[in-house]
Structure 1
Amino acid sequence: MWSFFSRDPSKDFNFEIGELVPSLEDKSVWNLHKGKKKGSNEEVSVFVFDLKSNPESQLDVVKAAVKRLKTLRHPSILTYIDSLESEKVLYLATEHVDPLKEHLEKLSLDAPQRDLYIAWGIFQITRALSFLNNDGNLRHNNVNIWSVYVNSSGEWKLGGVEYVSSTQDSTLQFKLISSLDVYSPPEKNDPSKQRNMTKCSSDMWGLGCLIWEVFNGPLNVQSSLRNPDKIPKQLGSLYFELLNTNPVARPNPADVITRCRKLGGYFKNDLVDTLLFLEEIQIKDKTEKNRFFSNLTPHLDNFPDNVCKHKILPQLITAFEYGDAGSAVLAPMFKLGRLLDEAEYQKKIVPCVVKLFVSNDRATRSRLLQQLEHFIGHLQSSTVNDQIFPQVAHGFMDTNPTIREQTVKSVIHLAPKLNYNNLNVEVLRHFSRLQAKDDQGGIRTNTTVCLGKIAPHLHPQIRQKVLISAFIRAMRDPFPPARNAGVLALAATQQYYLLSEVASRILPALCYLTMDPEKIVRDSVFRTIKGFLGKLEKVSEDPSLRESMEADVNTATPSLSNAAATWAGWAVTAVTAKFYRSQSDTVRSLNPMGNKMLSKPGSLEQPSSSSISTTTSSVTSMTSLEHEDASRGNDSVSDYDYNNWDDNDNWGDIETGGQMVSSSGSGCAGSSDPTSPPSGSGPTNKAADGWENEEWGSLDEEPEQEVEATSPLETWSSSDKAPILPDNKSWSPNAIDHRHSQPSHNWEDHEFEPLEENPGANNSKLEEARKKREEKRLMRQKELEARRATRQTTGPMKLGAKKI
């Protein structure tokens, strides 16, 4: 009947009261509880004063404390949110905090981070006392480890305002909790010394006690303050001044801040400097902001994660959205984004990223492209294709070479998330134009490098149509690093080529570069040729290996097992080994001498039936062929470090004339045509040496039938002319012979046709053609073996001799 009048008063409180925090049970008149705002997940702390467990005489003190905290607004003082008073209970809701004692016990930071963080915390409490003593003319009278709290941002907040008094009061209040008497200054029990009290003397004594407790733990006996062993030397002299028995000798908190903020002072470190700058960022000019943000990124690794995530990152986002911080803020903002979980990242960072890509400011666009790898993993494919890629694509046609170069590089990170049209049509259209027409050698080189790296993500039919023609075009480039990049790209993407294309298109194009004037290009060419020839020789000896060699040609998506075969892990010292798959025990038993033959690299993998479509191309140890190169003193590796193709220094540098590699010798100037014969060698006289009369049998009969079209999209295989390098003697990155930069396989003239609508029919045709090729090859092989046996019975034939 009377239940209405005895209902729980907490129902009128807008916050749910959770579990008790036990740390303050005998150190405060309050009980601290965890809390949450009703109807939301916002966490708060709820201080509860229950008259049932506390004497009624303390109620006035508690009410005054609530009123005092409500009126005190300072960044280093506990933030008041709400309160509720009833006849028996008083509730006080504040920001979510933990007692300092608990926080320090759970603090898991290494020594440098911990030192910076504690310095920041003591600075904040000193600043709060300076505000109370000097600006508010108030004494706190309760500074110790139990009156300090830490919020989620790692900020130390001064609470425990139950004993605040005016600086005009010449007497010190007695504590309601007897255990707090250990923090009372010496003048409390000496009326003569109380007359010498200053407005800050009692609080400075408390600050000295707090410093001791931070490094030693809670103070139980006042005599322990005489042992300062664990206190940093930078605070040594200040500590003794704070605990001076003469109240007048204790410093003012404002003076403490001034002294410790000087060079070499305890408060002078990167963390304090950074956080103070962010608090005052609104009054800083643009030059100061740019300098600050440019220097911030390297320091972030030394800052605690909670401070970075909850204090620095929100300030950076605010500074960018509402201030004039500019693009310099992007690098630290994206670096700190890794501390967020996926939901927070989508909420806080992704909207900024989408907004930034619309910006026309080149500096902003440049920094975004440079930082792309740090946030691309958090972007949804739909966001990338619909909102980001259309903005990025403008960079392919930018008049600034740096933007074009960075746009090309960015495709490596974007490719896994791009849809068919954006990747296989739009990107390749831009790549075709850049590779053929861009006036910067470095950009042409980087386009080839990037195409090789995104090859696993291209559609198989588009990949077969584009790669060989694009890389052969690069091998005709007058810029030596671009030619080298084309050769290396062919080697790195070898698993995507049909063996018929290797024989009819790739090897003829490579052979024309064996006379290249640049040694580094020649070295790459010879190694690549040896690898491809070894691959063909293996299949010639064992035709059953062809299917495994070509398993990746029609693979739609890159498999994890192929990760080792991508360009990122490719090294020139293992280039020949990379062309071949690891040899199984079955293959080794069929060809036990394979590893000992000089012309046959030593590993070849026979895939199992369950993994035909995802056969790997693994990078193995140096083969016997490479050992031979090393024994001959091959020094091509010393000219350029190929072992780190993912490093930034391996991209063409447009700022230095696009020079991707530092070639030995005189460089490009004065180089001769690599396609011309060596000096002193004229046309070969076949009639004189008898080669034209040699009867080679079926080897010269209908050679064109050996190469058959294996795909309805293979429309460029009909133009297999070997590349012709320019005749001009001066090869400058900015002086391109455009007659030769438009190859016969021009992917700009032949736009990419849509795929066949009936891939099943195409597959059946491919299978039928493949079977026919295998049958012809087996017959051809038997024919060759019979002829070889016949030649061995008639004895060796001298070069140039006519057969009778």
Structure 2
Amino acid sequence: MKMWSFFSRDPTKDFPYEIGESVPGLEDKSFWSLHKAKKKGCGGGEDVSVFGIDFKTNGEQYLDIARSTVKRLKTLRHPSILGYVDSLETDKTVYLVTERIEPLQNRLSRKTDVGVKRELYLSWGIFQVTRALNFLNNDGNLRHNNVNSWTVFVNEESGEWKLGGVEYMTAVDSVYSTLPHTFSAYQPPESKDCHKPVTKCSIDMWGLGCLIWEAFNGPLSNSGQLKNIDRIPKQLLTVYRELTGQNAEGRPNPADVIARCRSNGGFFKNDLVDALLFLEEIQMKERGEKGRFFSQLAAQLDTFPEGVGRYKILPQLLAAFEFGDAGSAVLPPLLQLGCQLPDVEYQRRVVPCVVKLFASNDRATRLRLLQQLDRFVNHLQPATVNEAIFPQVARGFLDTNPAIREQTIKSVVHLAPKLDYNNLNIEVLRYFARLQSKDEQGGIRTNTTVCLGKIAQHLHPQIRQKVLIGAFIRGIKDPFPPARTASVLALAATQQYYLLQEVSNRVLPALCSLTTDPDKGVRDNAFRTIKGFLSKLERVSEDPTLRESMEADVNTATPSLSNAAATWAGWAVTAVTAKFYRSQSDTSKSSSSNNATRILLNKPASLEHASSSQSSASTTATTSSATSMTSLEHDHEHDSQNLTNTNSDCDWDCWEADNWGDMEQQSATGGSTHSNLSPTSHTPKNNEQWTSLEEEPEEECTQNLSLKNQSSEEAWEDSEFQPVEDFSPLEQNISTTTIKFEEARRKREERKLARQRQMEVKRAVKLLASPPAKKL
């Protein structure tokens, strides 16, 4: 009895798929019932669809048809034919498992895409069915016999059209059999003769014409409706008339339909079909072709139908990156599509590609990653940033190419919130100290100051107090006017982090030295900032109880926005920005004032042309040229040497001091100095010119040349920098000696007066030497 019970066990109980809700749409058109299903297993299995039939309910007349359908579909493998997954046959039921799909009419009735997107979607769908028929008729010598919108299914995710309904499929030379009554509207005119078809593809081409009509008009009730061609696109009209013509011999072969519609101006010739076909054959394409394709794809994605990008194009891009040689060219469309993914899926699929690209030694790849960092940084986990990404990014701080250095600085703004204490407060600031004092590019020095002001809120409070004021005072003495302007604005924007005693003892004296600056824009910014600090001190002097609230953010790790808005920080961040923007209408403003406004508007100085009012009468030297991305050749040995030379002995403690001296000072010719940093020359190669770096005045270029000739042992300590007041371009051949820190403090006032007199003489000499302006 137990033995009999074992053999009579219901096989459907061992079916490895859990059948769910039914999918409507096929009730009157098929003996199959369509259900959503999921593969059994822990953690949730893949989503599939199950076609099922119960012979007790539907009768045994469909038994042979159902079984032949399963057998036929199991042997057909084509990307545009419904994909077979599994099946189960018993004496009572037949289950056919396929990829997760829904009837085409269900998808078309929702009208998820409209306008151009809908036309592109229909173009790709009709192309897929035509391609499937070409495979059946010409390669498989098979005839579908029942092509219409009820035998075409759509992948629920990617929206791809899949030809199904193979219940009535025969060989191409078989006699045509009449379809069931539910499909009588799709029978071709010659079916009444009950003879063999005129051509091997004439029956299916009639069905393709019916499918085209239904795609634009809805379900077909009778063949007479096919004459209504108002909604058929003009590019498809000629082919459509041939497909639905009464003369079976005149119906084209599916291969001919594809060739004609893929020609210029054809219905299948568009960005979507071109892109998807290219991705299918990407492994056979040349590297240059791939680069051009990916550069165009990013701009086309927004016009593609819903779901196609995420579920069809994105997997192809990931495969092209992982198994092909697509490289960084795949990054823009990959990141654009990755934004559509849930965070968990983004971490699993996109982040590994980003990490792998950051490890690349190719400069073009590194530059492209840094430029698009803001598009994916929010998806990166802090651990990934600190352990895998930042060590690779840090290589760019000492890169020999100015564009890489500049973009690396900008990337810190996006990375700072995710960096740990060591990477942000020690490593980043160590690199910034070198860039601000040693880099020969004025724009890079400017951006370093701007970035430091932007990341101030993320720094540790003790580090903030130790670094900010010294760094910005250092920038105030920069020979490049935009760098001085950036330092003044950074002091204003970060004022809530300074003790009032530091404001009076260090900040205001440094700002006052700019009130006689030769650049009018710098002077204007200095005066405005001085007034703001003075008003703050004045309020505290009148009401000492305000000191605590004004210094509330000095030792706070997460500054209070409300406190900043209630004090001068609100004026610095909002009112000052608006004021400088409006001042551009004054035609008498210098070009460096324009640059100051660009800094406030988050446009780094190194991307704009800036020149002081003093140098506007002199010839400026252009330091950038239109160089293509192909000039980004990597230099592994030099980069490695830079990283090795940047040892832990270089510290940012020097920012704590006030008298940083002049960055254009040359090293003493008669003696040797000692450096905390092992300096490596960052002079770009002659053929490495970058359009992202600004045009600097001739005076700045001269300073750059002097920096290139500095001794490799030049020191970083404050005592090693000659004060700005003692330096004169007319005395460059006079050897200078090191002035100790204490002596510099005692003689500060004397040097200021001497510097003012020198500047007055210098301006007078330039006015006498310059030719008189010609009148227009």
Amino acid of the residue matched to residue 46 of structure 1? V
- The 8 Å contact of residues 475 and 482 in structure 1, kept in 2 or not, is answered as yes
- The 8 Å contact of residues 471 and 655 in structure 2, kept in 1 or not, is answered as no
1:485 — aligned with what? Answer: 486
Q: Compute the displacement of 1:244 (Å).
A: 0.5
Matched, 1:141 2:145: yes
Aligned to 2:58, the other structure's residue is in SS state: coil
- The 8 Å contact of residues 112 and 302 in structure 1, kept in 2 or not, is answered as yes
Report the CA distance shift for 1:22/1:501 in structure 2 as closer, same or farther (over 3 A): same
2:187 — aligned with what? Answer: 184
| Residue 33 of structure 2, aligned match among 31, 35, 38 | 31
| CA–CA separation in structure 2 for the residues paired with 1:623 and 1:91 | 69
1:395 — aligned with what? Answer: 396
Matched, 1:240 2:210: no
Aligned to 2:514, the other structure's residue is in SS state: coil
2:544 — aligned with what? Answer: 543
1:731 — aligned with what? Answer: 700
| Residue 95 of structure 1, aligned match among 99, 105, 117 | 99
| Residue 16 of structure 1, aligned match among 15, 18, 28 | 18
| Residue 610 of structure 2, aligned match among 657, 661, 664 | 661
1:118 — aligned with what? Answer: 122
Report the CA distance shift for 1:27/1:630 in structure 2 as closer, same or farther (over 3 A): closer
1:501 — aligned with what? Answer: 502
Residue pairs, 1:312-711, within 5 angstroms: 312-559=313-560, 561=562, 581-582=565-566, 619=573, 635=589, 640=594, 645=599, 649-653=603-607, 661=610, 663=612, 666-667=615-616
2:767 — aligned with what? Answer: none
- The 8 Å contact of residues 512 and 723 in structure 1, kept in 2 or not, is answered as no
- The 8 Å contact of residues 595 and 605 in structure 2, kept in 1 or not, is answered as no
Report the CA distance shift for 1:102/1:641 in structure 2 as closer, same or farther (over 3 A): farther
Amino acid of the residue matched to residue 35 of structure 1? A
- The 8 Å contact of residues 27 and 179 in structure 1, kept in 2 or not, is answered as yes
- The 8 Å contact of residues 82 and 94 in structure 1, kept in 2 or not, is answered as yes
| Residue 128 of structure 1, aligned match among 115, 127, 132 | 132
Q: Compute the displacement of 1:664 (Å).
A: 5.3
Aligned to 1:512, the other structure's residue is in SS state: helix
Q: Compute the displacement of 1:561 (Å).
A: 4.6
Q: Compute the displacement of 1:522 (Å).
A: 2.4
| CA–CA separation in structure 1 for the residues paired with 2:437 and 2:617 | 19
Q: Compute the displacement of 1:727 (Å).
A: 8.7
Q: Compute the displacement of 1:44 (Å).
A: 0.6
Report the CA distance shift for 1:70/1:327 in structure 2 as closer, same or farther (over 3 A): same
- The 8 Å contact of residues 492 and 572 in structure 2, kept in 1 or not, is answered as no
Aligned to 1:17, the other structure's residue is in SS state: strand
| Residue 45 of structure 1, aligned match among 45, 49, 55 | 49
Deviates more, 1:295-304 or 1:272-281: 295-304
Report the CA distance shift for 1:630/1:361 in structure 2 as closer, same or farther (over 3 A): closer
2:108 — aligned with what? Answer: 104
- The 8 Å contact of residues 482 and 595 in structure 2, kept in 1 or not, is answered as no
Aligned to 2:224, the other structure's residue is in SS state: helix
1:598 — aligned with what? Answer: none
Aligned to 2:264, the other structure's residue is in SS state: coil
Residue pairs, 1:748-787, within 5 angstroms: none
2:63 — aligned with what? Answer: 59
Q: Compute the displacement of 1:266 (Å).
A: 1.1
Aligned to 2:52, the other structure's residue is in SS state: strand
- The 8 Å contact of residues 308 and 336 in structure 1, kept in 2 or not, is answered as yes
Q: Compute the displacement of 1:124 (Å).
A: 0.6
The two structures have a TM-score, normalised by structure 2, of: 0.78
| Residue 70 of structure 1, aligned match among 69, 74, 78 | 74
| CA–CA separation in structure 2 for the residues paired with 1:274 and 1:551 | 57
- The 8 Å contact of residues 83 and 90 in structure 1, kept in 2 or not, is answered as yes
Report the CA distance shift for 1:196/1:125 in structure 2 as closer, same or farther (over 3 A): closer
* 1:334-359 Cα deviation digits (max 9, x unpaired): 11111110111111112222222222
Report the CA distance shift for 1:57/1:646 in structure 2 as closer, same or farther (over 3 A): farther
* 1:542-566 Cα deviation digits (max 9, x unpaired): 333332222222221244557xx7x
2:163 — aligned with what? Answer: 158
Amino acid of the residue matched to residue 538 of structure 1? R
Q: Compute the displacement of 1:326 (Å).
A: 1.3
- The 8 Å contact of residues 475 and 723 in structure 1, kept in 2 or not, is answered as no
Report the CA distance shift for 1:557/1:366 in structure 2 as closer, same or farther (over 3 A): same
- The 8 Å contact of residues 22 and 32 in structure 1, kept in 2 or not, is answered as yes
1:698 — aligned with what? Answer: none
| CA–CA separation in structure 2 for the residues paired with 1:99 and 1:466 | 66
- The 8 Å contact of residues 132 and 140 in structure 1, kept in 2 or not, is answered as yes
* 1:63-100 Cα deviation digits (max 9, x unpaired): 22211111111110001111111001111111111111
- The 8 Å contact of residues 80 and 162 in structure 2, kept in 1 or not, is answered as yes
Aligned to 1:142, the other structure's residue is in SS state: coil
Aligned to 2:378, the other structure's residue is in SS state: helix
Q: Compute the displacement of 1:327 (Å).
A: 1.0
Deviates more, 1:120-129 or 1:719-728: 719-728
- The 8 Å contact of residues 482 and 605 in structure 2, kept in 1 or not, is answered as no
Amino acid of the residue matched to residue 606 of structure 2? G
- The 8 Å contact of residues 141 and 165 in structure 1, kept in 2 or not, is answered as yes
- The 8 Å contact of residues 445 and 483 in structure 2, kept in 1 or not, is answered as yes
| CA–CA separation in structure 1 for the residues paired with 2:437 and 2:254 | 69
Q: Compute the displacement of 1:221 (Å).
A: 2.5
| CA–CA separation in structure 2 for the residues paired with 1:722 and 1:469 | 8
Q: Compute the displacement of 1:22 (Å).
A: 2.0
Amino acid of the residue matched to residue 77 of structure 1? I
1:572 — aligned with what? Answer: none
The two structures have a TM-score, normalised by structure 1, of: 0.75
- The 8 Å contact of residues 17 and 38 in structure 2, kept in 1 or not, is answered as yes
| CA–CA separation in structure 2 for the residues paired with 1:484 and 1:231 | 63
Amino acid of the residue matched to residue 51 of structure 1? F
* 1:735-767 Cα deviation digits (max 9, x unpaired): 35679x98875999xxxxxxxxxxxxxxxxxxx
- The 8 Å contact of residues 670 and 730 in structure 1, kept in 2 or not, is answered as no
Gaps in structure 1 of 5+ consecutive residues: 566-580, 583-603, 606-614, 654-658, 672-713, 749-804
* 1:497-526 Cα deviation digits (max 9, x unpaired): 222222221222122222323333223222
- The 8 Å contact of residues 650 and 661 in structure 1, kept in 2 or not, is answered as no
Amino acid of the residue matched to residue 153 of structure 2? Y
Q: Compute the displacement of 1:281 (Å).
A: 0.3
| CA–CA separation in structure 2 for the residues paired with 1:522 and 1:507 | 14
Gaps in structure 2 of 5+ consecutive residues: 621-651, 667-697, 722-776
Q: Over the residues paired in the alignment, what is the CA RMSD in angstroms? A: 3.2
Aligned to 1:146, the other structure's residue is in SS state: coil
Report the CA distance shift for 1:717/1:394 in structure 2 as closer, same or farther (over 3 A): closer
| CA–CA separation in structure 2 for the residues paired with 1:253 and 1:419 | 62
Amino acid of the residue matched to residue 535 of structure 2? G
Report the CA distance shift for 1:617/1:487 in structure 2 as closer, same or farther (over 3 A): closer
Aligned to 1:197, the other structure's residue is in SS state: coil
| CA–CA separation in structure 1 for the residues paired with 2:191 and 2:487 | 85
Q: Compute the displacement of 1:278 (Å).
A: 0.3
Residue pairs, 1:256-335, within 5 angstroms: 256-335=257-336
Report the CA distance shift for 1:107/1:638 in structure 2 as closer, same or farther (over 3 A): farther
| CA–CA separation in structure 2 for the residues paired with 1:508 and 1:422 | 32
2:642 — aligned with what? Answer: none
2:176 — aligned with what? Answer: 172
Q: Compute the displacement of 1:620 (Å).
A: 5.3
For these two proteins, the number of residue pairs brought into alignment is 650
